[in-house]
Amino acid sequence: MDVLSVSSLKGGVGKTTVALGLASAALAREQRTLVVDIDPQTDVTTGLAVAPGKALNIADVLRNPSPDVVRHAIVSSAWTEHRQTAVDVLVGSPRAIEFDVPAPRPRDIWRLDEALSLLEDAYDVVIIDCPPSLNALTRNAWLASDRVLLVTEPSLFAVSAIGRALKAIDELSVDQQVPIKPLGVLINRFRKQSIEHEFRIAELEQLYPRQILDVRLPERASLQQAQGSAQPVHSWPSESGKKMAAQFDQLLDEFEHAVKNDPSGHEHRKTIKGAKKSK
CATH number at residue 205: 3.40.50.300
Residue 247 lies in a domain: yes
Q: Which domain holds residue 216?
A: 2-268
- What span, in angstroms and rounded, lies between the C-alpha atoms of 42 and 57? 11
The pairing of beta strand 212-218 with beta strand 182-190? parallel
Q: Quick one: which of 254, 258, 235 has its CA closest to 245?
A: 235
Residue 276 lies in a domain: no
Given a contact cutoff of 8 angstroms between Cβ atoms, the answer to whether 224 and 244 are in contact is: no
Model pLDDT for residues 36-51, shown as the tens digit of each residue: 999 999 999 999 988 7
82-86 contacts at long range (C-beta below 8 A, 24 or more positions apart): 83/27, 84/30, 85/27, 85/30, 85/31, 85/32, 85/33, 86/32, 86/33
Residue 278 lies in a domain: no
Given a contact cutoff of 8 angstroms between Cβ atoms, the answer to whether 102 and 135 are in contact is: yes
Tell me, yes or no, if the pTM score tops 0.75. Answer: yes
Residue 119 lies in a domain: yes
* Backbone CA torsion sign across 44, 156, 253, 225: positive
Residue 273 lies in a domain: no
pLDDT at 226: 77
The pairing of beta strand 2-7 with beta strand 147-152? parallel
Number of structural domains in the chain: 1
Model pLDDT for residues 52-98, shown as the tens digit of each residue: 677 799 999 999 999 999 999 999 998 887 777 789 999 999 999 99
Residue 113 lies in a domain: yes
Residue 26 lies in a domain: yes
3-state secondary structure of 153: coil
The pairing of beta strand 2-7 with beta strand 125-129? parallel
Residue 274 lies in a domain: no
Digits of tens for pLDDT over the chain (279 positions)?
Answer: 999 999 998 888 889 999 999 999 999 999 999 999 999 999 999 999 887 677 799 999 999 999 999 999 999 998 887 777 789 999 999 999 999 999 889 889 999 999 999 999 999 999 999 999 899 999 999 999 999 999 998 877 777 888 899 999 999 999 999 999 999 999 888 777 777 778 888 888 888 888 899 888 887 777 777 777 778 888 888 888 888 899 999 999 999 999 988 866 555 445 444 444 433
